[in-house]
Amino acid sequence: MPSVVLCLHAHLPLRLKKYSFFDIGHSQDYFDDEESRRVLERMAKDCYLPVNAALLKLIRRSRGRFKVSCSVSGMLLEQFEKGQKAVLTSFRRLADTGSVEFSGEPYHHSLASLFSEDEFREQIALQRRKVRALFGLVPRSFRNTGLIYGNDAARIAESMGFRVFLAADAGRLAGNDTTTLYRPEGCRKLRVLLRHDRLSGDIASRIAGSALSGQSGGADAFDIKLAEDYRGQEIISLFLDYESFGKPDCSEAGILEFLEAFAVALLKQRNWRFLTPSGAAAEHEPACNLDLPGHGSEADGSAWLANHMQKDAARTLFAMEARVREAKKRKQIGVWRDLQASEYFGYMGKTELSDGALRCTFNPFATPYDAYISYMNVLKDFSGRLAGKTGVRA
């Protein structure tokens, strides 16, 4: 019996200000609070609330047979707590159904897994505590930023009690199949669930097409394609961003109709079912071991660390870790972590982000160079404040 594992991910970074050389030593306002609120309000109205309402409707209509996984960054959950309580309520209603699994992830959607194991572990723990406090659930599946995966990250996830690791398509790993589970090399209990990139991309394209046409017709063709190609014990992992649905008035543009039509059509077929990631891991045995030494593959991090500006900014930021921790000031630790959001490095590159590409449309900088200069000015000021200096630009 084929199983569909539908995973939706939500994250919005705080909006960065354009921070000039002349701001160094004079301003600690690195983030544009007004713009952050504006973007959040838009996404709550056009995306999070209508999508969650559609998911709840599907769960109730199917009497719990429709299942879905949600992953929401801690940075976004904090924004909901401060200004969008209605969105938190909509997620709580989903959690109460018992058909929704909340996945863990780095709290600030950061690249900590590539630079600091201590910080990586702490952000995972912070995220897990936040999810438990807000929704009463303990994440059993884990999704790293950008689906970055490697043996080291898998080892950490297993040691922290996760059952399944959500990772990018193994197309770059010769001989691996995206429709089965794997056991990470060196792990005993953890399983790896690979995103089916081709089908995830296909459904995202059809969603976009529904928005343009105002119709859900693409759902029927997609369901027929699944039924024709998969008839055994395959696991079809569809990983999408909430922001894929983030078009203005998406509830009137056919986007949500596509989601509903796709799910309802599959549920009508007795030989198909929806599972959560941990549910799939519990019901399927791993095909074999997946061995990817280190923190990740060569492709991991390429959207954020492809050029010298991105690498320099990231290394400079994480090089501050020891000084930030020594200061033992909660506010400074919070600012340092807020500056870790991966999008800030994405603004400095030309590679399209595969994880939440729509978020880059909120890029406030005209060029990658402008983004780099502004960010490094922020780090210059922050470094000076760590050292107890103000008003110094030397």
Backbone angles phi, psi at 16, to 5 degrees: -80, 145
Of 233, 255, 290, which closes a domain? 290
**pLDDT tens-place string over residues 311-323:** 999 999 999 999 9
Residues 43 and 145 placed together within one structural domain of the fold: yes
Residues 286 and 313 placed together within one structural domain of the fold: no
Whether residue 84 is contained in a domain is answered as yes
- Give the H or E element holding residue 359: none
Residues 90 and 33 placed together within one structural domain of the fold: yes
Q: What is the pLDDT of residue 201?
A: 82
Residue 305, helix vs strand vs coil: coil
CA atoms of 336 and 116, how far apart (whole Å): 14
Of 290, 319, 354, which closes a domain? 290
Residue of higher predicted confidence among 193 and 302: 193
CA atoms of 337 and 371, how far apart (whole Å): 18
pTM of the model: 0.90
Six-digit token string for 360: 């880059």
Whether residue 297 is contained in a domain is answered as no
Whether residue 212 is contained in a domain is answered as yes
Whether residue 394 is contained in a domain is answered as no
Judged against a pLDDT cut of 90, whether residue 259 lies above it is answered with: no
**% of residues, the chain, pLDDT over 70:** 86
Q: What is the pLDDT of residue 1?
A: 81
Six-digit token string for 236: 């079809």
Count Cβ atoms within 10 A of the Cβ of residue 235 and give its class: 0-12 exposed, 13-18 middle, 19 or more buried: buried
**pLDDT tens-place string over residues 48-107:** 999 999 999 999 999 999 999 999 999 999 999 998 999 999 999 999 999 999 999 999
Residues 235 and 321 placed together within one structural domain of the fold: no
Residues 261 and 117 placed together within one structural domain of the fold: yes
Judged against a pLDDT cut of 50, whether residue 357 lies above it is answered with: no
Judged against a pLDDT cut of 90, whether residue 339 lies above it is answered with: yes
pLDDT category of residue 394 using cuts at 50, 70 and 90: very low
Phi-psi domain of 96 (left: phi exceeds 0; alpha: psi -120 through 50; beta: other): alpha
CA atoms of 320 and 298, how far apart (whole Å): 25
Residues 157 and 274 placed together within one structural domain of the fold: yes
Residues 87 and 226 placed together within one structural domain of the fold: yes
Residue of higher predicted confidence among 168 and 113: 113
Sign of CA dihedral 246, 249, 253, 257: positive
Residues 378 and 269 placed together within one structural domain of the fold: no
CA atoms of 30 and 35, how far apart (whole Å): 12
pLDDT category of residue 254 using cuts at 50, 70 and 90: low
Contact by Cβ (8 Å): 55, 100: yes
**pLDDT tens-place string over residues 144-182:** 999 999 999 999 999 999 999 999 875 555 556 788 899
Counting the structural domains of the chain, the total is: 2
**% of residues, the chain, pLDDT over 90:** 66
Residues 239 and 353 placed together within one structural domain of the fold: no
CA atoms of 347 and 351, how far apart (whole Å): 9
Residues 57 and 158 placed together within one structural domain of the fold: yes
Whether residue 138 is contained in a domain is answered as yes
- For helices 255-267 and 197-213, give the axis angle rounded to 10 degrees: 130
pLDDT category of residue 109 using cuts at 50, 70 and 90: very high
Whether residue 299 is contained in a domain is answered as no
Q: What is the CATH number of the domain that holds 196?
A: 3.20.110.20
CA atoms of 171 and 191, how far apart (whole Å): 18
pLDDT category of residue 186 using cuts at 50, 70 and 90: very high
Query: Please, how many CA atoms are within 13 Å of residue 317, restricted to the half-sphere of its CB?
Result: 29
Judged against a pLDDT cut of 50, whether residue 134 lies above it is answered with: yes
Residue of higher predicted confidence among 389 and 200: 200
Of 260, 290, 320, which closes a domain? 290
Residues 200 and 318 placed together within one structural domain of the fold: no
Residues 352 and 268 placed together within one structural domain of the fold: no
Contact by Cβ (8 Å): 2, 361: no
CA atoms of 275 and 377, how far apart (whole Å): 46
Q: What is the pLDDT of residue 194?
A: 92
For residue 363, the enclosing domain spans 308-386
Report the range out of 64-68, 208-212, 360-364, 389-393 with the highest average pLDDT: 64-68
Judged against a pLDDT cut of 90, whether residue 15 lies above it is answered with: yes
Q: What is the pLDDT of the chain when averaged over all its residues?
A: 87
Q: What is the pLDDT of residue 250?
A: 53
Residue of higher predicted confidence among 270 and 182: 182
CA atoms of 373 and 378, how far apart (whole Å): 9
Judged against a pLDDT cut of 50, whether residue 298 lies above it is answered with: no
Q: What is the pLDDT of residue 244?
A: 78
Whether residue 344 is contained in a domain is answered as yes
Q: What is the pLDDT of residue 331?
A: 94
Count Cβ atoms within 10 A of the Cβ of residue 273 and give its class: 0-12 exposed, 13-18 middle, 19 or more buried: middle
Q: What is the pLDDT of residue 360?
A: 47
Whether residue 295 is contained in a domain is answered as no
